[in-house]
Amino acid sequence: MENLTAKSFALRQDVLDMIYMAKTGHIGGDFSVMDILVTLYYKQLRVDPARMDDPDRDRFILSKGHSVEALYAVLCSRGFFPKEDLKTYSQYQSKYIGHPNNKINGIEMNSGSLGHGLSVSVGMALAGKMDKRDYRVYVVMGDGELAEGSVWEGAMAAGHYKLDNLCAVVDRNRLQISGCTEDVMAHDSLDQRFGSFGWHVTHAAGNDIEALNAAFEEAKSVKGKPTVIIADTTKGYGVSFIENQAAWHHKVPTEEEYQLATKELAERRAANE
Ligand SMILES: Cc1ncc(C[n+]2csc(CCOP(=O)(O)OP(=O)(O)O)c2C)c(N)n1
Ligand SMILES: [Mg+2]
């Protein structure tokens, strides 16, 4: 677990490099969701980069698709594609564009238009039940994303079909593009909302790999209902001046900020090695 924490800081550096080079990206949400992705790809998901056509593979959907840089960094580190590919991020004619697309090995669904991942994951989970396969389906949503009405149609269907092979994670960093979620669209009754649609609701410290892993284990033990993990994260986690600032949703670092962030990430990484 210690080494995975160090790894997640190293992967944040890959994200920083991508965004600094391409001069575009969503650093706040990337740093927020990184520990969730590392826990999934290093501890939970049964996926083999060489066998993404395996009908029994677990499915993962990054519904908050703007955090694709974090997904690219994690997929690359797990061997889904070579490291040189990261250098092409957001360059002309590269398939590594600013939102997930399923031409890339490891990516199941095109996302980025918020509010669709949960409904698609419900379809995948339902198909798994109908085909009597034991794969699990994981979907990560942003908390701002929960303002989309389609999320709640998906939540209703998941509860109705008792999809215990489905686990949703809410990256609960309390910020969205333009400010605090509680000002834009309040979500403090999330437990009751998901609960009323027949979900098992649990909470985890969302930048703590051990806590996240325990929550995923809990989800696997729940029968007859889907699970949602409300992951309490910090947007921009890992770099002090990026943390908790709505402006860093998609701000690009200056050279000075890039150097400072690189130094902080190296320190955080070393402290966990
Ligand atoms: C349907 C749709 N509306 C608007 C946007 C523009 N947009 C991109 S990110 C974002 C904010 C998302 O906030 P949140 O889900 O909390 O993500 P995070 O804080 O994890 O970055 C918005 C509104 C979009 N991608 N899709
Ligand atoms: Mg958010």
Tell me, in angstroms, the distance from the centre of ligand 2 to residue 236's CA. Answer: 10
Domain span holding position 147: 2-271
Mutate to test the pocket of ligand 1, among 19, 24, 64, 116 (most ligand atoms within 8 A of CB): 64
* Residue 76 confidence (pLDDT): 98
Q: What is the DSSP letter of 41?
A: I
- What is the rounded average pLDDT for all residues in the chain? 97
Q: What is the DSSP letter of 42?
A: I
CA–CA gap between residue 141 and residue 61 (Å, rounded): 9
CA–CA gap between residue 34 and residue 9 (Å, rounded): 9
Whose tokens are 């210690």? That residue is: 2
* Residue 152 confidence (pLDDT): 98
Per-residue pLDDT reduced to its tens digit, 149-192: 999 999 999 999 999 999 999 999 999 999 999 999 988 899 99
Report yes or no: 135 and 166 within 8 Å, Cβ to Cβ: no
CA–CA gap between residue 195 and residue 235 (Å, rounded): 26
Strands of 129-268, DSSP E: 137-142, 166-172, 200-205, 227-232
Mean pLDDT of all residues in 49-69:
98
Tell me, in angstroms, the distance from the centre of ligand 2 to residue 53's CA. Answer: 32
Kindly report the CATH number assigned to the domain that includes residue 238.
Answer: 3.40.50.970
CA–CA gap between residue 131 and residue 67 (Å, rounded): 31
Q: Say how many domains are in the chain.
A: 1
Tell me, in angstroms, the distance from the centre of ligand 1 to residue 176's CA. Answer: 6
CA–CA gap between residue 15 and residue 29 (Å, rounded): 11
Per-residue pLDDT reduced to its tens digit, 64-73: 999 999 999 9
Q: Cα 206 vs. chain centroid, distance in angstroms?
A: 11
CB atoms within 10 A of CB 162: 14
In degrees, rounded to 5, the angle at the alpha carbon of residue 98 between the alpha carbons of residues 95 and 104 is 35
Amino acid letter for position 213: N
CA–CA gap between residue 66 and residue 78 (Å, rounded): 20
Q: Give the torsion through C-alpha atoms of 184, 63, 246, 229, to 10 deg.
A: 80
Mean pLDDT of all residues in 6-26:
98
* Residue 1 confidence (pLDDT): 58
**Index of the ligand 1 atom closest to the CA of residue 173:** 19
* Residue 187 confidence (pLDDT): 87
Tell me, in angstroms, the distance from the centre of ligand 2 to residue 126's CA. Answer: 28
Give 50-64 as a DSSP string.
Answer: T-TT-TTS-EEEESS
Residue list, ligand 1 pocket, CB within 6 Å: 26, 28-29, 32, 64, 66, 112-115, 142-145, 171, 173, 175-177, 235, 249
Mutate to test the pocket of ligand 1, among 68, 176, 230 (most ligand atoms within 8 A of CB): 176
Tell me, in angstroms, the distance from the centre of ligand 2 to residue 243's CA. Answer: 12
pLDDT band, very low/low/confident/very high, at 2 (cuts 50, 70, 90) = low
Q: What percent of the chain has pLDDT over 70?
A: 99
Amino acid letter for position 7: K
| Ligand 2 ion local residues (Cβ < 5 A) | 142-144, 173, 175-176
Q: Specify the pairing of strand 166-172 against strand 200-205.
A: unpaired
Nearest to 187 by CA among 234, 148, 244, 138: 148
Q: Which of 171-175, 181-185, 198-202, 265-269 has the lowest mean pLDDT?
A: 181-185
In which element (H, E) is residue 14 found? helix 2-22
Mean pLDDT of all residues in 107-121:
98
Question: Does 61 score more than 90 pLDDT?
Answer: yes
**Index of the ligand 1 atom closest to the CA of residue 176:** 13
Mutate to test the pocket of ligand 1, among 15, 19, 110, 177 (most ligand atoms within 8 A of CB): 177
Per-residue pLDDT reduced to its tens digit, 211-257: 999 999 999 999 999 999 999 999 999 999 999 999 999 999 999 99
